[in-house]
């Protein structure tokens, strides 16, 4: 990105923390002023509930809220805004699917397939569901480079045929691993899976992809994708579930209550059409409204520029780390920079990841240490935890150099 300093000036947090080195955008991104201002606008100018009032403030809030649905729909190239459901986060979106879709279609003879690199949110709900129903839970493994063992670049993959069968009801997989940074070729995987079983339903966890790559759900071929506002410069408390309308229309509501009701009688209740039948209760109104400003910001920067910048800075960070520390540092994930996002998870000598993160924090460097809500993956990697540095549009080479200096300090203190 040619002018990173101008980008950073759009984020007020850097004015208040001039020495901040924020390398934890995979957990949550920072917020530009345009997003913060939009939230303030809602609370200062038209702070009313949506859909319920006929007075002007409520009508403005409702219009702004529904405009976000349209903006999200166009951003991911959905067929229409009715396919966009607002939740609290990616986790709730997946649990909605496990409850409203999974419990409706799954039988004891069926299978659900996921991968070893999933976030717990796209692993545990399916594990629990198969245990409850008595169905089979399958997990796709990775190779030593952190890439799925599928031979997905070979058409008619024999490995995929051993995993996906006519009994497989759901394939749930991540687009980008939040630990390895692996970018899975979801379009190719989905196409091959649907050749094996045309009835399979594919759910893609795109929480780490939507903020960084241009997404086209029609081209992708998935039946559902899920992601979060707070990872794409938007506010916390807002998740998105996109699904093909034909499936959404057949699914049960996830929760019951205000606004998703059509009519209620003593002996029966009817519900509104999708998407509103899945949005019970008062939503995070100001936060949803501000999400559209985050999307406009990303579109103005351009998703291609974002991807180019992240590749450059990630490649630079890997080269600098290896140059300074050699075999002392082990970086997990694909060796080819084209196969990974702006995420570097690593171990450093015999130092504990939490000790590393604490010393870095003392220098104003924000990274994450732990298993990053991906314990099965860390078990597969044979490490209890890793340190994760993740990059976004407001990071530059100076941040990388400060990270390297911080790691030198770690070595000096802990050796």
Q: How many residues does the chain have?
A: 415
* The CATH classification of domain 4-23+302-414, taken from the options 2.40.50.140, 3.90.1150.10, 3.30.1180.20, 3.40.50.2300: 3.90.1150.10
pLDDT by 10s per residue, the chain, length 415: 456 668 999 999 999 999 999 999 999 999 999 999 999 999 999 999 999 889 999 999 999 999 999 999 999 999 999 999 999 999 999 999 999 999 999 999 999 999 999 999 999 999 999 999 999 999 999 999 999 987 655 455 677 888 999 999 999 999 999 999 999 999 999 999 999 999 999 999 999 999 999 999 999 999 999 999 999 999 999 999 999 999 999 999 999 998 899 999 999 999 999 999 999 999 999 999 999 999 999 999 999 999 999 999 999 999 999 999 999 999 999 999 999 999 999 999 999 999 999 999 999 999 999 999 999 999 999 999 999 999 999 999 999 999 999 999 999 999 8
Q: Which residues are catalytic?
A: 373
Nearest to 51 by CA among 259, 361, 345: 259
Domain parsing of the chain, residue ranges: 4-23+302-414, 46-299
- Torsion, Cα 302 305 307 312, to 10 degrees, reads -160
CB 280 within 8 A of CB 59: no
- Residue pair 193/164 in contact (Cβ under 8 Å)? The answer is yes
Distance CA(351)–CA(411), nearest Å, equals 8
Tokens for 141, please give them: 């493994």
pTM: 0.95
The span from the CA of 403 to the CA of 362, in Å, is: 12
Spatial distance between the Cα atoms of 97 and 252, rounded to a whole number of angstroms = 10
Closest-CA residue to 248 (of 395, 11, 87): 87
Report angle CA 323, 351, 342 to the nearest 5 degrees. 50
Classify domain 46-299 at the CATH topology level: 3.40.640
Q: Token pair for residue 176?
A: 């980008």
């Amino acid at each position: 990105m040619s002018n990173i300093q101008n980008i950073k000036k759009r984020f007020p947090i850097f004015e208040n923390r001039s020495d901040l080195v924020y390398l934890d955008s995979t957990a949550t991104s920072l917020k530009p002023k345009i997003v913060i201002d939009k939230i303030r606008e809602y609370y200062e100018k038209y702070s009313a509930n949506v859909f319920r009032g006929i007075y002007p403030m409520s009508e403005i809030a409702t219009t702004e809220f529904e405009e976000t649905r349209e903006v999200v729909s166009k951003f991911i190239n959905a067929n229409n805004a009715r396919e966009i459901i607002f939740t609290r986060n990616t986790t709730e979106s997946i649990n909605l699917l496990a409850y409203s879709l999974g419990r409706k279609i799954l039988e004891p003879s069926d299978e659900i397939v996921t991968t070893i690199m999933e976030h717990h949110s796209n692993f545990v709900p399916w594990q629990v569901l198969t245990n409850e129903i008595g169905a089979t839970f399958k997990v796709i493994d990775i190779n030593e480079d952190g890439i799925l063992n599928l031979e997905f670049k070979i058409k008619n993959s024999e490995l995929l045929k051993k995993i996906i069968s006519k009994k497989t009801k759901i394939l749930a997989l991540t687009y980008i691993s939040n630990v390895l940074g692996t970018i899975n070729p979801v379009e190719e995987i989905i196409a091959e899976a649907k050749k094996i079983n045309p009835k399979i339903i594919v759910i893609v966890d795109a929480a780490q992809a939507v903020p960084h790559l241009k997404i086209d759900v029609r081209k992708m071929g998935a039946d559902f994708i899920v992601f979060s506002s707070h990872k794409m410069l938007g506010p916390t408390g807002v998740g998105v579930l996109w699904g093909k309308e034909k499936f959404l229309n057949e699914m049960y509501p996830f929760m019951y209550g205000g606004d998703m009701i059509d009519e209620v009688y003593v002996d029966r209740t009817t519900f509104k059409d999708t998407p509103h039948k899945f949005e019970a209760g008062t939503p995070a109104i100001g936060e949803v409204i501000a999400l559209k400003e985050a999307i406009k910001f990303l579109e103005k920067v351009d998703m291609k520029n974002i991807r180019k910048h992240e590749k450059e800075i990630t490649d630079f960070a890997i080269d600098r780390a290896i140059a300074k520390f050699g075999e002392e540092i082990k970086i997990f994930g694909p060796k080819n920079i084209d196969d990974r996002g702006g995420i570097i998870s690593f171990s450093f000598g015999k130092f504990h990841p939490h000790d590393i993160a604490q010393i870095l924090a003392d220098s104003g460097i924000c990274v994450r240490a732990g298993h990053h809500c991906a314990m099965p993956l860390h078990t597969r990697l044979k490490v209890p935890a890793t340190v994760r540095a993740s990059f976004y549009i407001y990071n530059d080479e100076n941040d990388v150099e400060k990270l390297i200096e911080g790691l030198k300090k770690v070595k000096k203190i802990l050796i």
